[in-house]
Structure formats: structure tokens, C-alpha cells
Amino acid sequence: MNKRILPWILPFIILVIWALVTMGFNLVSSIFFPSPLEVIDSGYELIVSGKLVSAALYTLSNVLCGLILGAIVAIPLGTLFGWLKTLEEMSKLVIGVLRPIPPIAWIPFSILWFGIGMVPAIFIIFIGCVFPILIYTLDGVKRTDKVLIEISQTLGANNLQIITKVVFPSAIPTIVSGLKVGIGIALMCTVSAEMIGSSNGLGYLILNSTNLFDTGATIVGMLTIGLIGLAFDFVFSKIQDKIFW
């Protein structure tokens, strides 16, 4: 019972303080920060009009495409870099230079290369999530128990068999953690990309609502992003529980 109640205590406190500040004492104008009732009204209007569902599905499709592409590239590369010391040393400088560059710094190039729409947003998401997944995969491969590798070699397993049957399975928990980190970065990246180079999605909804001083719709867009991230985190946690417990 405590586990079910505790997570709701802090949100309830925040909601009460929010209502008191915006509705009870009128300390903040709705132009600067809307009340909970205004957010609910805006959310209802966006749902009824279909704008919120359309924007959420557009953003979700961008996130999934970018994340899948990032995983397709990062997981095999991370496995190879973690297994072959020479490749890891060769890639250190390139990864060390590219990884700290913010994904949004690539937005001008993504627009120049791919124009306006879905493709540049997917590219930005790919850039944002590929490095966390790569680093987590590499780390997971390097943490593989050496005893398991030595036993496999003693039993006559070749490198390919060791990688596919021993190293990769042992790295899966770390890879899943990398995917969870990648999801958070992917959501941040897609919103930034949609604010600049798109006419749909939650990022565009937030920017457009802010320009129209519809702060209630802005909050709805922000909360929707948070709920999408929470849903992904829940799914990955369930996958981890099913596989490893």
C-alpha cells in the first residue's frame, strides 16, 4: 500500500501549491503561468479537436524511428568496440569529440541536408541517442565476466560464438539502460527539432501555443512529453524485470 501511495504524495503537494499560487491567492497571472483548471480546459480542447493526439503520434513516430536507427548503429558498433581493443582505441578520439556536441547544434545542417519535416527531426534524434547507447553497450561488453569467456574458449567456441552466446547476452542489462537514457535524450531532441524545422508534433504545439500566449496548451504539451517518457520508462523497466528476474 505504501508503494502505491508514496509516488502520489509529492505530485499532490505540487498540485495544491500550484492551485493556491494561481487560483487561491492570484499571485501569478495566467499569461505567465496558468492555473490547473486552465490547463485542464486547454487539454480538453486539444483532445476534442484532435490536435494533441496528432501531435503526440507525430512526435512518438519520430522518437521511435530515431531510437531504432540509433540502436541499429550503436549496438553492433558498441559490441565490436568493446570486444576488439584496437577498434576501441581507434574510435576514442572521434567519439570523444562528437559525443559532447549538443544534438541541437546539428539542426542547421539537418535542415540543409533534409529540408523541413520528419526526416531532419529523426536525424537529430539519431544523433542524440546513438552515443549513449554506444557507450552503454561498449561498457556492458567490457564488463562481461572473463571466466565465462575463458570457459567458452576452453570448450572450443570461436569469437563469433563467444560474442553472440556469451558477451552480448551478458551486456543486455546495460544495453537496456542505454536505451532508457536514449529515450529521454530523444524526446528532448525531437521537441527542439520540431520547434525549428517542423509544422507538427509536440514541439511545434508548444512553440505555437507560446507565441499565441496560450500557456495552458503549452503546459499540456510539456506534460504530454513527460507522460510519453514515463510510459517508455515503464515499458523498459518491465522488460528488464521479465528478462533478468
pLDDT digits (tens, 9 = 90+) for 75-116: 999 999 988 888 888 888 998 898 888 888 888 888 888 887
Residue 43 contacts residue 220 (beta carbons within 8 Å) = yes
Q: Give how far Cα 49 sits from Cα of 45, 52, 86, 130, Å.
A: 6, 8, 56, 35
Residues 101 and 222 in one domain: yes
Q: What average pLDDT does the segment 117-124 reach?
A: 86
Q: How much is the pLDDT for 160?
A: 85
Does residue 244 register a pLDDT over 70?
A: no
Measured over the CA atoms of residue 196, residue 228, residue 23 and residue 27, the dihedral's sign is negative
Residues 72 and 183 in one domain: yes
Q: Give how far Cα 110 sits from Cα of 72, 79, 98, 101, 107, Å.
A: 20, 28, 16, 14, 5
Q: What is the pLDDT of residues 199-236, one digit of tens each?
A: 788 988 998 888 888 899 999 999 999 999 888 888 88
Residues 63 and 14 in one domain: no
Residues 207 and 220 in one domain: yes
- Nearest residue to 63 (alpha-carbon basis) of 184, 174, 173, 176: 184
Give the pLDDT band (50/70/90) at residue 243. Answer: low
Write the CATH number for 98.
1.10.3720.10
**List of E strands, the chain:** none
Give the pLDDT band (50/70/90) at residue 57. Answer: very high
- Amino acid of residue 192: S
Q: How much is the pLDDT for 188?
A: 85
The total of structural domains in the chain comes to: 2
Residues 98 and 12 in one domain: no
Residues 24 and 49 in one domain: no
Residues 92 and 209 in one domain: yes
Residues 150 and 63 in one domain: yes
Which domain range does residue 24 map to?
Answer: 1-33
Residues 155 and 50 in one domain: yes
Residues 57 and 86 in one domain: yes
Residues 22 and 40 in one domain: no
Q: How much is the pLDDT for 1?
A: 59
Residues 8 and 117 in one domain: no
